[in-house]
């Protein structure tokens, strides 16, 4: 079923030089240093950790937390079930000790977690850790300066359209786009840089916003990352015919703002990088459906209640909270994490099909994107 929807890069009509660049990127060997790190069954190192600090969100985006499921009667996690900031700091230090280099704070919407700046301060004090955060931007104008003062260095903002009508419909809480843009401006003014903007593209909803988004943020020096609509979780009614492929996204932009590919910044980078030929910046394309992107995945995910997941499309996690609250030593917790990662064999995007799409996967709002 899915193979019929894949698009060969050659169909882009972007020239042999760019096709050769794709080939080089896809065949890049892992660096020698990665062989000394904690590896899974496919020799993928553990380098990145995404921490969900809450399962709550003030948006009801149609592709993530649709109102039909996450309505007023939906039972979110009890606050006592959430890991405390002290527990999150402890786990972060344990993960750092076994090879983690980067932590991204997610949700739900992380900025609805009270006093998040205190957690950021704790994590920012961990030596050698790259700390960033993904937010819907709704509270960013209020909190950007405090986040920077606490030690946050970078931020990614989810924004699916500059068209106010389209954006209000997608967030489904009638939130205006100008308030998210004000948050992005506040983040830039506070020195949270570089700023990345994530746009999930869903056919029939916001594909006409692709080029305006690229042009608008190119002029402001921010990087937009266009993301194929994914079959994450099982509540968003995902269908393949609603996916706007990476190839189509690149074609649309290239027609008006000529592009050329760039090499990845590092092994495991999810987004394919493209720069504007006139040197005015770059974009990212996350081909989460039409091109397998598991081969170099280096990410683990920690839910707000302390479940570790080794895949965005996972069906089950592994409980770390019980170890934390049961008196386990750091060494024992680290050994548990190590054992989970060494057994990891996830490759969902490479085996995606009718049977996998229907699996009861964990919701993206629970473990972050």
Statement: residue 4 has pLDDT above 90: no
Question: In the numeric block, which tokens belong to residue 353?
Answer: 């099909």
Statement: residue 32 has pLDDT above 70: no
CATH of region 2-25+39-367: 3.20.20.70
First to last CA, the chain: 25
For residue 338, the surrounding DSSP H or E stretch is helix 330-342
Tokens 């504007």 correspond to 276
Statement: residue 9 has pLDDT above 80: no
Question: In the numeric block, which tokens belong to residue 148?
Answer: 């920077």
Average pLDDT across the chain, whole number: 86
3-state secondary structure the chain: CHHHHCCCHHHHCCCHHHHHHHHHHHCCCCCHHHHHCCECCCCCECCEEEEECCCCCCCCCCCCCCCCCCCCCCCCCCHHHCCCHHHHHHHHHHHHHCCCCEEEEECCCHHHCCCHHHHHHHHHCCCCCEEEEEECCCCHHHHHHHHHHHCCCEEEEECCCCCHHHHHHHHCCCCCHHHHHHHHHHHHHHCCCCEEEEEEEECCCCHHHHHHHHHHHHHHCCEEEEEECCCCCCCCCCCHHHECCHHHHHHHHHHHCCEEECCCCCCCCCCEEEEECCCCCEEEEECCCCCCCCCCCCEEEECCCCEEECCCCCCCCEECHHHHHCCCCHHHHHHHHHHHHHCCCCCHHHHCCHHHHCCCCCCHHHHCC
Q: Which residues, at least 6 apart from 13, have a Cβ–Cβ distance to it below 8 Å?
A: 251
The pLDDT score that the predictor gives to residue 31 is 40
DSSP-assigned letter for residue 49? E
Instruction: Round to whole Å and give the CA distance between 238 and 232.
Output: 8
Angle in degrees, 0-180, between the axes of helices 116-124 and 85-97, rounded to the nearest 10: 30
295-328 confidence digits (pLDDT tens): 788 999 999 999 999 887 777 899 999 999 999 9
Statement: residue 18 has pLDDT above 80: no
Compute the chain's Rg from CA coordinates. 20
The pLDDT score that the predictor gives to residue 24 is 35
**Domains of the chain, residue spans:** 2-25+39-367
The least confident of 93-107, 127-141, 352-366 is 352-366
The pLDDT score that the predictor gives to residue 30 is 41
The least confident of 15-19, 138-142, 164-168 is 15-19
The pLDDT score that the predictor gives to residue 264 is 86
Report the share of the chain in percent with pLDDT over 90. 70
188-245 confidence digits (pLDDT tens): 999 999 999 999 999 999 999 999 999 999 999 999 999 998 766 566 666 888 999 9
The pLDDT score that the predictor gives to residue 102 is 96
CA 125 to chain centre: 23
Closest CA to 196 of 184, 181, 208: 184
115-159 confidence digits (pLDDT tens): 999 999 999 999 999 999 999 999 999 999 999 999 999 999 999
């Amino acid at each position: 079923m899915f193979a019929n929807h894949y698009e060969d890069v050659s169909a882009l009509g972007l020239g042999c030089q760019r096709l050769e660049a794709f080939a080089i990127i896809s065949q890049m060997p892992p660096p020698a240093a990665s062989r000394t790190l904690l590896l899974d069954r496919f020799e993928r190192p553990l380098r990145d950790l995404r921490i969900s600090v809450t399962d709550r969100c003030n948006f009801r985006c149609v592709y993530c937390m649709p109102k039909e499921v996450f309505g007023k009667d939906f039972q979110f996690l009890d606050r006592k079930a959430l890991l405390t900031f002290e527990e999150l700091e402890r786990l972060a230090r344990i993960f750092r000790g076994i090879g983690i280099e980067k932590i991204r704070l997610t949700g739900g919407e992380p900025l609805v977690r009270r006093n998040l700046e205190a957690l950021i301060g704790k994590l920012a004090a961990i030596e050698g850790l790259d700390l960033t955060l993904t937010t819907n931007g709704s509270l960013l104008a209020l909190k950007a300066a405090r986040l920077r003062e606490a030690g946050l260095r970078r931020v990614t903002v989810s924004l699916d359209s500059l068209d106010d009508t389209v954006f209000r419909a997608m967030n489904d809480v009638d939130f205006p786009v100008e308030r998210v843009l004000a948050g992005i401006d506040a983040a830039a003014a506070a020195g949270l840089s570089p700023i990345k903007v994530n746009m999930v593209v869903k056919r029939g909803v916001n594909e006409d916003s692709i080029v305006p988004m690229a042009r608008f943020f190119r002029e402001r020096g921010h990087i937009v990352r266009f993301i194929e609509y994914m079959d994450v979780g099982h509540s968003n009614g995902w269908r393949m015919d609603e996916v706007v492929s990476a190839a189509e996204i690149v074609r649309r932009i290239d027609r008006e703002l000529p592009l050329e590919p760039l090499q990845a910044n590092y092994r495991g980078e999810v987004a394919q990088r493209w720069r504007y030929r006139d040197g005015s910046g770059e974009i990212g394309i996350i081909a989460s459906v039409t091109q397998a992107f598991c081969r170099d995945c280096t990410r683990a995910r920690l839910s707000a209640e302390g479940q570790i997941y080794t895949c965005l499309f996972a069906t089950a996690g592994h409980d770390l909270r019980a170890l934390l609250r049961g008196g386990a030593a750091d060494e024992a917790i680290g050994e548990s994490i190590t054992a989970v990662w060494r057994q990891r064999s996830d490759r969902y995007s490479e085996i995606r099909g009718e049977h996998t799409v229907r699996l009861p996967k964990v919701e993206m709002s629970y473990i972050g994107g």
